[in-house]
Structure 1
Amino acid sequence: MSLLTWNQGQYLLDGQPYRIISGSIHYYRVVPEYWKDRLLKLKASGFNTVETYIAWNVHEPSEGAFNFTGMADVESFIRLAGELGLHVIVRPSPFICAEWEFGGLPAWLLSYSDLQLRCMDPLYLSKVDRYYDQLIPRLVPYLSSKGGPIIAVQIENEYGSYGNDTAYLDYLRKGLIDRGIDVLLFTSDGPTDEMLLGGTLPDVHATVNFGSRVKESFQKYREYRKDEPLMVMEYWNGWFDHWMEDHHVRDGADVAKVLDEMLAQGSSINMYMFHGGTNFGFYNGANHIVTYEPTTTSYDYDAPLTEWGDSTEKLEAVRKVLAKHGFAPGCPFPEPIPKAAYGKVQLTEKAELFTDAALQQLSGPIHSVNVRPMEKFGQSYGFILYSTFVKGPRQGQKLYIQDVRDRAQVFLNGRLLGVIERWNPQPLEISVPAEGVKLDILVENMGRVNYGPLIRDPKGITEGVRIDNQFQFDWTVRPLPLQPETLAGLKYDALDAAAADGENGEERPAFYRGSFEVQEPGDTFLRFDGWYKGIAWVNGFNLGRYWSAGPQRTLYVPGPLLQQGRNEIVLFELHSGPVNCEIELTDTPDLGTVAQVDDAVLNFANDEEE
């Protein structure tokens, strides 16, 4: 048995002074075949601990249906870390932020109109309890008190940035203890009065999160916790990216300098992130500070270990600082994983979305008097199609979507009228002939807000559709979650390359399919040059979103997703593909034009965090 405790300002492990040198790796952002590689690289860099959030929406994607397999096999990840000689910090808070969809909360919570998030709301707590009844017993065997690697467990995540319901925090604490958690419990918050007042409990160890200004941050912490060990639970060594912005980077020498200062103060640390990984599928989150900002598919984070698992100059700088403070590599550094360039691949088949065959395969129609958010139709992710008939004649009126979450393509009789976006919700001018038209509105969920007061973020159309002041009723709704099992049944037609832009040059959403041969599977990167916006799948695995708006110019394809021989690639292109309908699989990643992270962002100055 081994227990992490603290006394007189320092951690004790088995009664002996101990420093936690941890790095963040999220199991659900890395294919399981690469867990060992990433963990060994952590240990080889001088770290003794790995930290991971646990994402509720990964484990209960639909209400009452739990998943702990594949990329959701958190038990195997923890067990592997222990076998490799690493301690583990787990953060199973119902809410995790992490630039993850809805901050890890499952979208089906939003189907309950009266449910209140992250507080002592009985309905919300009943859902948390049911989840914890499934999750926590899986963690208990891996506690250090039982001989396992887990040395500490978080109660809630940066709660002081959201609320001040300390009864809620205490409820979660008691729930963990009652279910068998008997290792060190802690909270983590930004080093401000508001956050430390709202997010902590007096008898629970408090840690802090920040990226610079070490002296100032620790001084604020010491105003509240005079005798506890210093622990930076999230040392932000990089930053995440939003679509339509630049790729954020932080200078490695600056990261090393701040780390040196933290360690010189006697602090333990957790580097957020050591390895960022990828927001595969529809799991990217979003921010909403001034406007809505969706996060990219890549979660490289400019971390010391890249999205594809390579070492960086930043990592070398970090290793030198750790060695200076007595934290030597725990094993040899694994060799880089080979990268492969499979060349250009032509997508030779096409299935247009707006055909009876495709729509029948992908979704059943639902009649609804009003437009409603996708959660009210039992849908969490993907797209949703609203269709109705508009009577005419009408001339020079305005079509409003009230409110769109997050990006809507509007079609009249199958022709694109225009796009209405959450961050630019300008109405479209509409004219309707006397015989009327069919109105189709395809709405893309680009990721729910994962931080701040606006996390309650239903998707689709949340209020209504109106022409001038007249609301439109009588809709046919088709949820389009685009699950692999429904996509597999799509019927494709051979594609004439000259018709790639659609008949008569019209932009219509369509699925494009092609294949390529692989002799030796390896990591590769999908370049989407010439394509506008959509989703990519390889062998049925959802790689995530692509968008010419950038910054990201390639999608990471881990080698384990490929197979020897024939491999299939599918793009769901929302507008139109290039004339040659080609993609390229290259051995070179491209995350876009870079911009340095602003120091203010690293210290909650903009009320925004990791």
Structure 2
Amino acid sequence: MSERQGLRADSTHFTLDGAPFRILGGSIHYFRVPRAYWRDRLLKLKACGLNTLTTYVPWNLHEPERGVYRFQEELDLEGYIRLAGELGLWVILRPGPYICAEWDLGGLPSWLLQDKKMKLRTTYSGFTSAVNSYFDKLIPRVTPLQLKVLQTVNLQKLTFGDVQHLAELQPQKPLMVMEYWSGWFDVWGEPHHVFSAPEMISIVRELLDRGISINFYMFHGGTSFGFMNGAFDLGTYKPQTSSYDYDAPLTESGDYTTKYHLLRNLLSSYSNEPISEPPAVQSRRAYEPLAVTHYISLWESLQCAETLFRADDPVNMESLPANHNNGQSYGYTLYQTDIYSGGDLNSRNHVRDRALVFIDRELIGVLDNRTQKVKIPHSKSERTLSLLVENCGRVNYGPALDNQQKGLVGDITLDNVPLKKFTMHCLDMKTSFINRLQSQKWTSVGTKPTYPAFFRGSLVVDQPTDTFLKLPNWSKGVVFVNGQTLGRHWSVGPQKALYLPGPWLRSGDNEIVVFEELKAAETIQFAENLEYGKTVEVSTQLFCTLI
């Protein structure tokens, strides 16, 4: 039996085991899709006429603590690759260690930031040794499954010279657009981005007519569940939404779009054999509004916090002695100190990323990258100053990548005098924290709540079904379903509902907990579809990068 030749790039077109081959790929990240839906999403990709699945590998999920590795259940990378193979799909694996992907810190684990000399994505020994240790665990898992690959280009709209430049870089080699951007990501407080389906199809047709291989980023965006959304900062910090719908051919919940149908029709004309029929779409349901029944204030929840730490100066969350000394990665950190006067509280831009400011538990203002001063009323009595600081998401690309410590990252001053003697509480809001919280004494909502607070209600389900959770007339916070962190909610939009997959629910009672910073309503509502505020067409010329 002759040895397989694998994928070769020895001429102007790919060959696979000696036969001409064009890569028609689509990106679906296993970590953004519930495992129960992996097969469904991959079958839909194949039924569109694609032959290749592309996925990143997020280091920060696979090694959440230094030396602790997770490759099971929802993170079973080998299972995902094997499933693709069973369905007749090839896989392009993009293992990182850096992945960008609108993912917190571009997939790099936050514990790297405990090293004050850390230089990410460089030959700095603290970085390379951590990468080597991780790759020692990752690479042996995927090496037996791999063939080979080369330089490619990323783009959305064709501009003069993009593909020609790539051809000149590597003459007599196949051309491939590794990331053809089917849409774009969203950030909080700005419109939802869409990209015209007819324009996309027109560009894809031109690429295919020129014999170019292509990978759609994203084919199905999915969801940045929990606190895993990234951010970007090219002068102004902007956190990204929990939804990663991306205006892709498959929606966040796996529905077919106009892009999907147009693309399927186009690709079928380039295929020598009929492509499979698309699977049926999953059912969804708008459950009846859920009454909120109980709440517990943030202040009462502090006894459930994992770590209490005291120091003269504020300590950024990654350097707190939490999580087996790997620091705090996500969520909120509460900083408290006593003050004896009033005046101008100045963050000196040391708040990362947003802080609610309280005097004796009364909210007096918000500090972020735009607002760096709050006026504190004068008083001669001793008072407690509290700053609840939220990590809104670490940037995933750009020059700010090395400076992504969160919480308070330096002194804050009161009338130009640095404040001292801080008590810090880690509110990482992991499943273990939410479970501890459930055993505490909750108050009936008949009593006016003290904000911030956790609000609770029970959703009774007969047959678990996909839905979208909505919080109209709420303000900002986080949603938890049966102890798992679903995602962030924020009234500024554009995202107006959170995708709640059926596999996150169970028959019978389901506990929905909402952490709300400022203003709660009496009910939690549901919808059948994702909802957005204002929408804008992606019209600016997006950058191209060689990878």
Aligned residue type for 2:229? N
User: Are 2:111 and 1:108 equivalent residues in the alignment?
Assistant: yes
Instruction: Say which is worse superposed, 489-498 or 228-237, in terms of deviation.
Output: 489-498
Residue 175 of structure 1 aligns with which residue?
A: none
Superposed CA offset, 1:254-294 (max 9, x none)? 11001001111110000000000000001000011230110
Residue 126 of structure 2 aligns with which residue?
A: 123
Partners in 2 of 1:518 and 1:401 — Cα distance? 49
Distance 1:398 1:361, change over 3 A: closer
CA drift of 1:440 comes to 0.5
User: Are 2:483 and 1:536 equivalent residues in the alignment?
Assistant: no
Distance 1:76 1:591, change over 3 A: farther
Residue 390 of structure 1 aligns with which residue?
A: 339
Aligned residue type for 2:162? S
Residue 483 of structure 1 aligns with which residue?
A: 430
Residue 472 of structure 1 aligns with which residue?
A: 419
On the 8 A contact 2:155/2:180 being kept in 1, the answer is: yes
User: Are 2:244 and 1:241 equivalent residues in the alignment?
Assistant: no
Superposed CA offset, 1:143-166 (max 9, x none)? 2xxxxxxxxxxxxxxxxxxxxxxx
On the 8 A contact 1:32/1:71 being kept in 2, the answer is: yes
On the 8 A contact 2:239/2:393 being kept in 1, the answer is: yes
Secondary structure of the 1:61 match is: coil
Partners in 2 of 1:353 and 1:370 — Cα distance? 23
On the 8 A contact 2:349/2:372 being kept in 1, the answer is: no
Residue 373 of structure 1 aligns with which residue?
A: 316
Secondary structure of the 2:208 match is: helix
Partners in 2 of 1:494 and 1:371 — Cα distance? 32
On the 8 A contact 1:45/1:329 being kept in 2, the answer is: no
User: Are 2:56 and 1:53 equivalent residues in the alignment?
Assistant: yes
Counting only pairs closer than 5 Å after superposition, residues 74-223 of structure 1 correspond to structure 2 as: 74-143=77-146, 183-185=147-149, 205-213=150-158, 215-223=160-168
Distance 1:513 1:327, change over 3 A: farther
CA drift of 1:487 comes to 1.2
Superposed CA offset, 1:501-541 (max 9, x none)? x3xxxxx2110111011111110000110110000011112
CA drift of 1:450 comes to 0.3
On the 8 A contact 1:230/1:267 being kept in 2, the answer is: yes
Aligned residue type for 2:460? E
TM-score by length of 1: 0.85
Secondary structure of the 2:299 match is: coil
User: Are 2:76 and 1:73 equivalent residues in the alignment?
Assistant: yes
Secondary structure of the 1:464 match is: coil
On the 8 A contact 2:314/2:410 being kept in 1, the answer is: yes
2:304 pairs, out of 336, 361, 367, with 361
Superposed CA offset, 1:6-27 (max 9, x none)? 1221111001111000000000
1:454 pairs, out of 374, 389, 400, with 400
Aligned residue type for 1:582? T
Residue 575 of structure 1 aligns with which residue?
A: 518
Residue 594 of structure 1 aligns with which residue?
A: 535
Residue 524 of structure 1 aligns with which residue?
A: 467
On the 8 A contact 1:402/1:464 being kept in 2, the answer is: no
Distance 1:85 1:138, change over 3 A: same
Residue 300 of structure 1 aligns with which residue?
A: 245
Aligned residue type for 1:77? Y
Secondary structure of the 1:46 match is: coil
TM-score by length of 2: 0.95
Partners in 2 of 1:328 and 1:215 — Cα distance? 34
Residue 297 of structure 2 aligns with which residue?
A: 352
Instruction: Tell me: higher relative CO, structure 1 or 2? Use CA pairs within 8 A at least 6 residues apart.
Output: 2
Partners in 2 of 1:448 and 1:468 — Cα distance? 30
Distance 1:453 1:567, change over 3 A: same
Secondary structure of the 1:124 match is: helix
Residue 512 of structure 1 aligns with which residue?
A: 455
Partners in 1 of 2:459 and 2:410 — Cα distance? 44
On the 8 A contact 1:343/1:586 being kept in 2, the answer is: no
CA drift of 1:60 comes to 0.5
CA drift of 1:319 comes to 1.1
On the 8 A contact 2:99/2:107 being kept in 1, the answer is: yes
Partners in 1 of 2:21 and 2:332 — Cα distance? 49
Aligned residue type for 1:244? G
Aligned residue type for 2:285? A
CA drift of 1:362 comes to 1.9
Secondary structure of the 1:229 match is: coil
Residue 26 of structure 1 aligns with which residue?
A: 29
On the 8 A contact 1:235/1:271 being kept in 2, the answer is: yes
Partners in 1 of 2:242 and 2:274 — Cα distance? 31
Identity %: 43
Secondary structure of the 1:260 match is: helix
CA drift of 1:141 comes to 2.5
Partners in 2 of 1:76 and 1:338 — Cα distance? 26
CA drift of 1:495 comes to 2.1
User: Are 2:402 and 1:438 equivalent residues in the alignment?
Assistant: no
Distance 1:327 1:131, change over 3 A: farther
Residue 265 of structure 2 aligns with which residue?
A: 320
CA drift of 1:489 comes to 1.6
Gap regions ≥5 residues in structure 2: 321-326
CA drift of 1:401 comes to 4.7
| Count of aligned pairs between the two proteins | 535
Partners in 2 of 1:400 and 1:35 — Cα distance? 45
On the 8 A contact 1:240/1:248 being kept in 2, the answer is: yes
Secondary structure of the 1:290 match is: coil
CA-based RMSD: 1.6
Partners in 2 of 1:329 and 1:596 — Cα distance? 34
Secondary structure of the 1:206 match is: coil
Partners in 1 of 2:469 and 2:60 — Cα distance? 27
